[in-house]
Amino acid sequence: MLQRIVLRDPAIAQWLIFSDPVDVLIAQRPSEVLPALRAAERRVKNEDLYAAGFLTYEAASGLDDALETHAGGALPLLCFGLFAQGRISDQPGLTTASPMGPADWHMLEQRQSYVRKIEKIKRRIAAGDTYQINYTVRQETDHVEDAIALFRNIAADAPYGAYLDCGEHIIVSASPELFFRRNEDRLICKPMKGTSHRGLTATEDIALRETLRESTKNRAENVMILDMIRNDMGRVAENGTVDVTSLYDVEKYPTVWQMTSTVVARTNADVCDVIAALFPSASVTGAPKVSSMRIIRELEESPRGIYTGAIGYFGPDNRAQFNVAIRTALIEKESRKATYGVGGGIVWYSDADDEYDECLTKAKVLSRVRTEQDFDLLETLLWTPEHGYALLEEHLNRLCASADYFDYVCDRTTIEEALLEQAGNFSAQKQRVRLTLNKYGQVSVSHQLLEDVNSGQPREIVLAAEPVDRSDQFLYHKTTHRQIYEDARRKARGGDDVLLWNGDGFITETCVANVALDIDGTLYTPPVEAGLLGGTYRNWLLSNGMARERPIHIDELDDGIKLVLFNSVRAQYAGVLRYPESQEADLLDAMGATP
């Protein structure tokens, strides 16, 4: 049943790898859940073993018969492998040659049906049956090409990521939420309630973080669940030891901001009793738990399975860690079909459409494509003997903002010292300087003599064959991941550079420069939200009143129109747009238009 389990332990920033179990304990019916869990705990203590595995959401009815759920689904209610030992590694030990191919994930419950369910929940709230319901829906796909590739894409950097090979099924969990951690007599829970999507630019990202932090709705949901967690912990905690150590923290994840709080307690209870007291996490049920789970069973049309259950391990040294199995996919090995759950807390003042949109936001992790290699942040600077580094503060500000966005280590002093040291190697001529920063904070600086690139004829610019996706975060940050620009150049029909445009038909930038039109002596450049990098020279022009922002549609551009191009190394230089023969018809096709 259980062949291999890989669990992330963020407390030590390592992976725990369990393989070749000496035994596997399962529970298929509710009446078997507690006996199987107690048997696992007994053998862990008596035989110095480790137990690693999962409980599905439906296991709750076997821990407390007052907790109503659907009957179980494809997986057992509980499954734990018993292992002689676990291996600690800085890598998950899962390799595949397959890239993450496209998977057509679709929501099983459409918006109209979802809205009706939320209306029913509000009627139950009005009747006093519940204060909050964590209502969830499922996404499905008919084909996941490679489960390890899916893990690499969505879970390899998740705080409580997990990969479980269960024989006929594979579980891939990208959970950011701690259910509980046990360290001798110390018990920690970290419920997560309150979500916002990430911004595309650093400025937008920070604004969304602060909006979530100050959200009355999300704070109310968070504290409601927090009170339930405190109550559940109190069932196994020493008197007077339950304490909230952190409230309304906002944590950063690749696609979302999450609000969390932290509760700690002291306990001498067995891990089985801890699980029975806490499971399932209040963050995935509602308040009060018993009546909310009854309503969930009535409204949700299928069992949740591993989704909102728990995945983790416990050992003979009174240590344990379990995640809340959110952002978790279940894959059938033979058919390659997969399911993935998403949901959110519904209260009286929840807006149904907003909640449905939040579900879609949470599911974006499924379409996330990690680069094959870690990318570096990048800045390209001009150095002259007369003035040193041009726009240095602007470059450093942008670099540090992107480092904060991607959670890269960034020491501004170290970067400045590296640039200063490199300048000592320059001849008395202009230099093009390339600065990179990797995720660990390591800085690399190189340079080359800058030739006079602004003399001669205007650069010939051709229009990109396809639009860019302005929701792609790499458009807004300068990095070594330049697939967007490489693809545009590869598909272009000649030219010195390629003018990019978005799905709405508005131009953005070229592969190496920002762009503007000179209209009656005023430079107009596209706004950042069109899907472009806020170049340092562009920002300097705007801040000094030398350019203005304005959306510019492809329809405004004729063959031969003059463009003003600029970046921090070349400053301003001329370009001319050329339409290769037949490109106009191709553009209409790409935009879904007809002549």
Catalytic-labelled residue, pool 177, 300, 394, 509: 177
pLDDT in tens, 226-261: 999 999 999 999 999 999 999 999 999 888 899 999
pLDDT at position 595: 41
Residues 564 and 526: their CA atoms lie apart, in Å, by 12
447-470 average pLDDT score = 87
Tokens 């699980």 identify what position?
275
pLDDT in tens, 489-508: 999 988 999 999 999 999 99
Start-end of CATH 3.20.10.10 domains in the chain: 459-590
CATH number (3.30.470.10, 3.40.50.20, 3.30.1330.10, 3.20.20.70) of 377-449 reads: 3.30.470.10
Tell me the CA distances in angstroms from 438 to 168, 205, 341, 491, one per residue in order: 39, 21, 34, 29
DSSP state letter for 396: H
Q: What is the percent of the chain with per-residue pLDDT over 70, rounded to a whole number? A: 94
Residues 378 and 481: their CA atoms lie apart, in Å, by 9
Contact in structure between 63 and 276 (CB atoms under 8 Å): yes
Query: Collapsing DSSP states into helix, strand and coil, what is residue 499?
Result: strand
274-294 average pLDDT score = 96
Q: Where is 277: in which H helix or E strand?
A: helix 271-278
Q: Decide if 252 is catalytic.
A: no
Start-end of CATH 3.60.120.10 domains in the chain: 4-367
Least confident of 217-231, 298-312, 436-450, 575-589: 575-589
Is 50 exceeded by the pLDDT of residue 372?
Answer: no
pLDDT at position 368: 66
Contact in structure between 553 and 524 (CB atoms under 8 Å): no
Catalytic-labelled residue, pool 193, 289, 362, 478: 193
Provide the residue type at 366 as one letter: L
What does pTM read for this prediction?
0.81
Is 90 exceeded by the pLDDT of residue 116?
Answer: yes
Which pLDDT band holds residue 220 (cuts at 50, 70, 90)? confident
Helix, strand and coil in the chain, % to nearest 5: 30, 30, 40
- Range of 92-106, 245-259, 363-377 with top mean pLDDT: 245-259
393-421 average pLDDT score = 96
Contact in structure between 577 and 559 (CB atoms under 8 Å): yes
- Rounded mean pLDDT of the chain? 92
Is 50 exceeded by the pLDDT of residue 479?
Answer: yes
Residues 296 and 289: their CA atoms lie apart, in Å, by 10
Q: Which residue has the higher pLDDT, 370 or 438?
A: 438
pLDDT at position 583: 52
Start-end of CATH 3.30.470.10 domains in the chain: 377-449
Which CATH code is given to the segment(s) 459-590? 3.20.10.10
How many other CB atoms are there within 10 angstroms of residue 502's CB atom?
21
Q: Where is 138: in which H helix or E strand?
A: strand 132-141
pLDDT in tens, 159-190: 999 999 999 999 999 999 999 999 999 999 99
pLDDT in tens, 308-366: 999 999 999 899 999 999 999 999 999 999 999 999 999 998 999 999 998 998 888 88
Which CATH code is given to the segment(s) 4-367? 3.60.120.10
pLDDT at position 370: 55
Q: Decide if 193 is catalytic.
A: yes
117-136 average pLDDT score = 97
Residue 132's beta-bridge partner residues? 287
pLDDT at position 28: 97
Backbone angles phi, psi at 575, to 5 degrees: -140, 160
